Amino acid sequence: MKLPFQNTYARLPADFFQRTPPTPVASPSLIALNHDLARELRIDPDFLRSEQGLAILSGNETPEGAEPLAMAYSGHQFGGFSPVLGDGRALLLGEIAGKDLQLKGCGRTPFSRRGDGRSALGPVLREYLVSEAMHALGVPTTRALAAVASGEQVHREEAEPGGILTRCASSHLRIGTVQFFAARQDHAKLRTLVEYAKKRHYPDLKNALDLLRKVTQKQAQLIAQWMGLGFIHGVMNTDNMTLSGETIDYGPCAFMDRYDPAQKFSFIDQQGRYAYQNQPYIAQWNLSRLAEALLPLIDENQERAVQLAQDELAQFPELYEAARLKIFSKKIGLPSNSNWDLIQSLLDLMTQQKADFTLVFRSLSQDPSSLLNHFQEDTPALQNWLTRWHAAAPPDRALMDRSNPAFIPRNHRIESVIEAAKNENYAPFHELHQILRQPYQEQPEFQHYQDSPAPDEIVCATFCGT
Ligand code: AMP
Ligand code: MG
């Protein structure tokens, strides 16, 4: 079978990327294949399961029509600017049905610096599970088409089995991609990039300012969705934020169990820069970097360009707060013009009592009388909250069920899936994946997957795996 690759990115000027073939691996085996996504892309899943399919998904064979390349980009990492990052362990094969297909963990590229270009199997399975869970939860995200065990070891803290993820995205254009040309003051290529981004994502937009506005809107919506699920991305560097508004790069990401606005998991984020409560501020900070990069295209008069860009950026807090209010109103089953104070009071009670974010909201929709089970003690403040909630309006239970997941990819579950996978036992991976396909459905036989971790199961830190 010939895969119907288009290669629009490969047609861009040479300094947008470096052409590199994937590096073959010793003895690949397929762990997971996303049949639904394959069909959406109009690829026959049976072909991907075949020997040749596996060779393609492991980087052992470059499919006919693909033009593997590592994309160039810059990025602010934890606030510091790196002018040249680029795909150091990923290759774009091309586009199929308008979507990028990328192999991640497929060997060194000209952007690898000191890295090995590989990925451990753990992070591959984590990204597969979490990105597919996000999709099922209704969050814009890159997706996982396949996970392969490479049959080789990678060396991190210790030797670990290696893996390769096939990722699918509306595109892999990042804020960092725009920064790459801005940093070189290459305004012609900057313009080419903006035209390309508009054509792929927002064909109705006219100019760079429109693009800034659109990305600001998309990111405000996206971050509000993350906040509504207790999702912490963990590495919100500008190279990990897309122009499409899809969540990308599931490194040390995690869903929080107990509600704590200051929660962070990433081991490398010692300062908590990317903690839960900071995510909207960081998004706005990243968008400011995008605005800066776009300035030369916004107006010839740079003073005017700055003013126009600032006006767009100034919209972010309002857009974010409106999106957040809508999302949390649904979570408590009230009309979207409800009162943030009511929601904030509940969140404050959850913080004080270290209540589980997901279980509290789910119990509100399923059985409000069980709400107290998720708090350490019944307090007048809690009763007062319930009274206020009941007085506000009759809650829309069906809406709440659709807005409060029963199942999220909890850290301790992911960790045990990864531990089992290290011993080539993939059954826990498949079970968790299956449950997360319908996160808003009660699944009585898997009830225990809703539970928060026991004290000895709590995961305190997550790692990029790079
Ligand atoms: P990330 O933390 O995945 O967003 O990656 C940040 C940068 O480091 C990107 O340029 C990656 O391509 C690069 N990188 C991460 N891990 C590796 C690796 N194992 N080998 C080469 N480059 C890597
Ligand atoms: Mg990245």
pLDDT in tens, 70-122: 999 999 999 999 999 999 999 999 999 999 999 999 999 999 999 999 999 99
State percent of the chain over pLDDT 70. Answer: 100
Catalytic: 46? Answer: no
Q: Find the mean pLDDT for residues 145-160.
A: 96
Distance from the CA of 115 to the center of ligand 1, in angstroms? 7
What SS3 string covers the chain? CCCCCECCHHHCCHHHEEECCCCCCCCCEEEEECHHHHHHCCCCHHHHHCHHHHHHHCCCCCCCCCCCEEECCCEEECCEEECCCCCCCEEEEEEECCEEEEEECECCCCCCCCCCCEEEHHHHHHHHHHHHHHHHHCCCECEEEEEEEEEEEEECCCEEEEEEEEEEECCCCEHHHHHHHHHCCCHHHHHHHHHHHHHHHCCCCCCHHHHHHHHHHHHHHHHHHHHHHCEECCCCCHHHEECCCCECCCCCCEECCECCCCCCCECCCCCCCCCHHHHHHHHHHHHHHHHHHHHHHHCCCHHHHHHHHHHHHCCHHHHHHHHHHHHHHHHCCCCCCCCHHHHHHHHHHHHHCCCEHHHHHHHHHHCHHHHHHHCCCCCHHHHHHHHHHHHHCCCCHHHHHHHCCCCCCCHHHHHHHHHHHHCCCCHHHHHHHHHHCCCCCCCHHHHHHHCCCCHHHCCCCECCCC
Q: CA-CA distance, 208 to 15, in Å (whole number)?
A: 21
Tell me what pLDDT residue 465 has: 62
pLDDT value at residue 466: 46
Check if 72 has its Cβ closer than 6 Å to any atom of ligand 1.
no
409 lines ligand 1 (CB under 6 A): no
Nearest residue by C-alpha to atom 8 in ligand 1: 88
CA angle in degrees (0–180, nearest 5) for 386-387-390: 85
- Chain segment 157-212, per-residue pLDDT in tens: 899 999 999 999 999 999 999 999 999 999 999 999 999 999 999 999 999 999 99
Residue 116 is encoded by which pair of tokens? 């090995």
Residues of the chain with pLDDT > 90: what percent? Answer: 95
Ligand 1: nearest atom to the Cα of 466:
16
Ligand at minimal distance from the CA of 89 is: 1
Mean pLDDT of all residues belonging to the chain: 96
Asked whether 85 lines ligand 1 (CB < 6 A), one says yes
Query: Which residues, in sequence order, are CB contacts of 344 under 8 Å at separation 6+?
Result: none
In one-letter notation, the amino acid at residue 418 is I
> Once rounded to an integer, what is the mean pLDDT over residues 438-457?
96
Q: Give the separation between CA 259 and CA 266, rounded to whole angstroms.
A: 17
- pLDDT value at residue 461: 86
Verify whether ligand 1 is closer than 6 Å to residue 83 (CB atom): no
Residues 253, 130: contact at Cβ < 8 Å? yes
Q: Which two tokens stand for residue 3?
A: 């895969």
Q: Provide the pLDDT for residue 77.
A: 97
What lies within 8 Å, CB to CB, of 51 at 6+ separation is none
User: How many alpha carbons lie under 13 Å from residue 297 in its C-beta half-sphere?
Assistant: 27
From the CA of 85, which ligand is nearest?
1
Cα separation, 302 vs 22, whole angstroms: 43
* pTM to 2 decimal places: 0.98
Span from the CA of 377 to the centroid of ligand 2 (angstroms): 42
Q: Which entry of 100, 239, 249, 269 is annotated as an active-site residue?
A: 239
Tell me what the mean pLDDT of segment 278-296 comes to.
98
Distance from residue 75's CA to the centre of ligand 1 (Å)? 11
Query: Ligand 2 is a single-atom ion; what residues have CB below 5 A from it?
Result: 240, 249
Question: Would you say residue 223 has pLDDT above 50?
Answer: yes
- Which tens digit of pLDDT belongs to each residue from 385-409? 999 999 999 999 999 999 999 999 9
